[in-house]
Structure 1
Amino acid sequence: MSNATDHRWLMQYNIVNLVNQCRRLIRAEFDANLSLTDPELRHKLAHYAGRTRSQGMQRLYGEIRLALIELEGPDELITPEEALPVRFYRGQPVDIAEHRKKRPEQEGKSKSGKPLMYRGRVVAQ
């Protein structure tokens, strides 16, 4: 992408109408003002749509995404593994995918087989 920002998607009346509705909801919920001329508008809309508790905002953002797919074609696919940020605990990376793939019968067991204690109580055996 070049230095010039691509705002062709904002030339569609239906998309601008949806974006303005989203801007109003974002202003009400997060007290953040988004500008139509902001080069990062699409990313900010996605950010706030992901953080909102409002189903109306999520529905509006979904309609914007559908309109953009019709206008520009399908988005780049992001696999769930790529979408997950690398998390660190005490300076060591934590493998989130490994914890999500645990089988239910292994959830309560510790790796060493010893019972886990927390505040004087046995948590897992």
Structure 2
Amino acid sequence: METEINHRWLMQYQIVNLVNQCRRLIRAEFDDRLSLTDPQLRQKLAHYAGITRSHGLQRLYGEIQLELIKLEGPDVLVHEESPPGEVARMYRGQPVDAANSRGETAPRQRGSRMYRGRPVS
């Protein structure tokens, strides 16, 4: 993001209205008071929208994102360095091994297996 604080997006009435509704829901659910002058407001809204159980807060944040796209244009996607044609696969937030994702199996290690905390042969 930019090093300077850009509050131009908060000059739009529709966006400020949606942000204030989000702030109320965040205050009710997480007991955190967000300030409109906070330089990290956009990041905090995204954080709380990602961890909330409230569908209302998720919907409002989606509407804010749509308004921001209208105002600033689409976001630029940043990708990690990966070989061309190969997509990094994720499972529950963890990267999946590329060899296993292609159906290859790793050699099985011999040793004791555990079942309910006890070794089984």
TM-score range, shorter chain: 0.7 to 0.9
Deviation, structure 1 residue 2:
4.3
Please give the TM-score of this superposition, normalised by the length of structure 2: 0.72
1:61 paired to 2:61: yes
Per-residue CA deviations over 1:86-116 (Å, capped at 9, x if unaligned) read x9xxxxxxx732288385xx6xx98326563
Higher helix residue share: 1
| 2:20 partner SS | helix
Instruction: Give the counterpart letter for 2:95 in structure 1.
Output: I
Point out which structure has higher relative CO (alpha carbons under 8 A, 6+ apart): 2
**What is the distance in 2 between the residues matched to 1:102 and 1:49?**
34
Contact 2:112–2:119 (8 Å) recurs in 1: no
Give the gaps of 5 or more residues in structure 1: 88-94
Gaps of 5+ in 2: 81-86
Query: Which whole-Å CA distance do the structure 1 matches of 2:42 and 2:57 have between them?
Result: 14
Q: Which runs of 4+ in 1 moved over 6 A?
A: none
**Number of equivalent positions:** 108
Query: Is contact 1:110–1:116 with CA below 8 Å preserved after alignment?
Result: no
Note if 1:97 corresponds to 2:104: no
Structure 1 counterpart of 2:118: 120
- C-alpha distance in 1, partners of 2:101/2:59? 30
Q: CA RMSD in A?
A: 3.2
State the TM-score, normalizing by the size of structure 1: 0.70
Cα pair distance change 1:2/1:78, threshold 3 Å: closer
Which residue of the partner structure matches residue 7 of structure 1?
7
Name the amino acid aligned to 1:21.
Q
Amino acid at match of 1:57: L
- Code of the residue aligned with 1:112 in structure 2: it is Q
